[in-house]
Structure 1
Amino acid sequence: MTSPPDNLVELRDVRFGYGARPVLNELTLAVPRGKVTALMGASGGGKTTVLRLIGGQVRAQAGEVLFEGRNVGTMSAARLYAARRRMGMLFQFGALFTDLSVFENVAFPLREHTRLSDALIRDIVLMKLDAVGLRGARNLMPSEISGGMSRRVALARAIALDPELVMYDEPFAGLDPISLDTAARLIRRLNDALGITSLVVSHDLVETFRIADHVVILADGKVAVQGTPEQVRACQDPLVRQFVHAEDSDEEGPVRFHYPGPTVAEDFGVKVVR
């Protein structure tokens, strides 16, 4: 019997862009099985695009996106649908269905993807809500719970089908320090307790480095550095140091502030004095 690959997800020489704007340029990275991998980098660097490629929402324009050794980009609709059942996704700000209760939000993927009885769905939903500390909030509507609670409900929904891979798109954005700490500990605890693989896209360095086993920083459509949090902190690459240590100077560093475009003189017809 062939053993599963050590890496649950791999991207090999992936190219992707939106229209004429390139985003990923021969990107190669791996997501180790059973670990918490953090995917970081400046805004607009392609992190969420990587999640969309893994989930098959978009297809790589070149290269391969592999999930358990199978190319997502060449899967039929039926195979892709089956692969997605083994993935969980926590969207930015939760993305709960506003007209469904907390219970029904978590039950949704079970009703969509399985033929389980209502009694069994009830038990599974309550177990998942209990795992995130919200079993008592089952009958509340999304408008009746806080932002931090919404994120936890969304996490319960993401793990409803016992996925092998859970992807988190900015799970800490907009949370107060207490909710942020709770969310970070939940990601780490659920990863270890359920034996899953987690891929976390985040800009929060402190919390993300605290829970991650493996960190990948993207820049210019490629991997700038990857390794343990300690290895990434010790990296001397100017771009990585600017991002990780928030180093500043009078001039722009490698991580650019301005999006590429016409010069000020070209746009306003004025002479710029430096």
Structure 2
Amino acid sequence: MTPDAPPAADSLVELRDVTFGYDERPVLRDLSLTVPRGKVTALMGASGGGKTTVLRLVGGQYKAQKGQVLLDGSDIGAMGEEQLYAARRRMGMLFQFGALFTDLSVFENVAFPLREHTSLPEALIRDIVLMKLGAVGLRGARDLMPSQVSGGMARRVALARAIVLDPELVMYDEPFAGLDPISLGTTARLIRRLNDALGITSILVSHDVEETFRIADQVIILADGGVAARGTPDEVRASPNPLVQQFIGADAEGPVQFHYPGPTVEQDFGVAS
């Protein structure tokens, strides 16, 4: 049995004192955070801060080395294969750059989760797929191949696929990366609109400060394995933390250094000091 714990009030996802690292490189240290139901929570921070790692822990790809990752009070890390498979049916995932199946049409890409996880008749699958494509404005593109659609359209197809099973939770890994300003704005508004219309909970990993702050209810800035700031976009903007201000202002100088820690130039090149 999966050990359950009372969830934080009105939260769907909760991390409690989570520690995780790759080999000898720690990424998260005693991290605790909550994701409120029905809201858009943005995970932000410098590269390598653990944002995508959090998504992988929630999705059960990784297990916390210490602490708990809870979905509606159930510990994902303690789930067996069958329980984890059932939990993942409650989630949708928009991968970075969409990750569409290149040899399947737009329609077949969106239909794939329905065929994988349900035994619905083809007529009903067709109706559901067309409704989800309609929700992202691409019902007319059903017969196109991924190579025939733009980057922004591909991201919307991937979004339709992510919501086709009507998940409670949708996770977005850099949904704005590589998009032109028009596609970026369209995708951002679509994420916000779908979240509100479908009553889902969203976790959004992004480096785009302006667009993310525009649609997020809660912003969490990760740094040094923990939370550097959290709150509404306005509250995070007002944070006195120098690292947060460097990130928001895209400043070259600050706590986050350009050079990765390592030997000195003298040590590497044998130059006398």
Whether the TM-score (by the shorter chain) exceeds 0.5 is: yes
Matches of 1:110 and 1:50, distance apart in 2: 26
SS of 2:104 mapped into structure 1: coil
Query: Larger deviation: 181-190 or 2-11?
Result: 2-11
Matches of 2:178 and 2:77, distance apart in 1: 33
Match runs of 1:1-274 below 5 Å: 5-249=9-253, 253-271=254-272
Return the letter of the residue paired with 1:61. Q
Runs of 4+ in 1 over 6 A off after TM superposition: none
CA RMSD of aligned residues (A): 1.4
For structure 1, the residue ranges without an aligned partner over 5 or more in a row are none
SS of 1:260 mapped into structure 2: coil
2:3 match: none
SS of 1:14 mapped into structure 2: strand
Distance verdict in 2 for CA 1:4–1:195, change over 3 Å: farther
Cα shift at 1:257: 1.6
Matches of 1:266 and 1:120, distance apart in 2: 67
Distance verdict in 2 for CA 1:109–1:45, change over 3 Å: same
Cα shift at 1:271: 4.3
Return the letter of the residue paired with 1:201. V
Matches of 1:45 and 1:190, distance apart in 2: 28
Once the two structures are superposed, residues 56-79 of structure 1 have per-residue CA deviations (whole angstroms, 9 ceiling, x without a partner) of 000000000000000000001000
Return the letter of the residue paired with 1:95. A
Matches of 1:129 and 1:18, distance apart in 2: 38
8 Å Cα contact 2:7/2:14 also seen in 1: no
Distance verdict in 2 for CA 1:114–1:271, change over 3 Å: farther
Once the two structures are superposed, residues 208-235 of structure 1 have per-residue CA deviations (whole angstroms, 9 ceiling, x without a partner) of 0000000000000100010000000001
8 Å Cα contact 1:5/1:69 also seen in 2: no
Once the two structures are superposed, residues 108-150 of structure 1 have per-residue CA deviations (whole angstroms, 9 ceiling, x without a partner) of 0000000000000000000000000000000000000000000
Matches of 2:37 and 2:269, distance apart in 1: 52
8 Å Cα contact 1:34/1:196 also seen in 2: yes
8 Å Cα contact 2:63/2:77 also seen in 1: yes
Matches of 1:73 and 1:66, distance apart in 2: 8
SS of 1:180 mapped into structure 2: helix
For structure 2, the residue ranges without an aligned partner over 5 or more in a row are 1-5
Cα shift at 1:268: 2.0
Cα shift at 1:15: 0.4
Matches of 2:265 and 2:93, distance apart in 1: 41
Query: Larger deviation: 130-139 or 4-13?
Result: 4-13
Matches of 1:104 and 1:220, distance apart in 2: 42
Matches of 1:54 and 1:11, distance apart in 2: 9
Aligned length: 268
TM-score (norm 2): 0.96
TM-score (norm 1): 0.95
8 Å Cα contact 2:7/2:73 also seen in 1: no
Matches of 1:200 and 1:113, distance apart in 2: 24
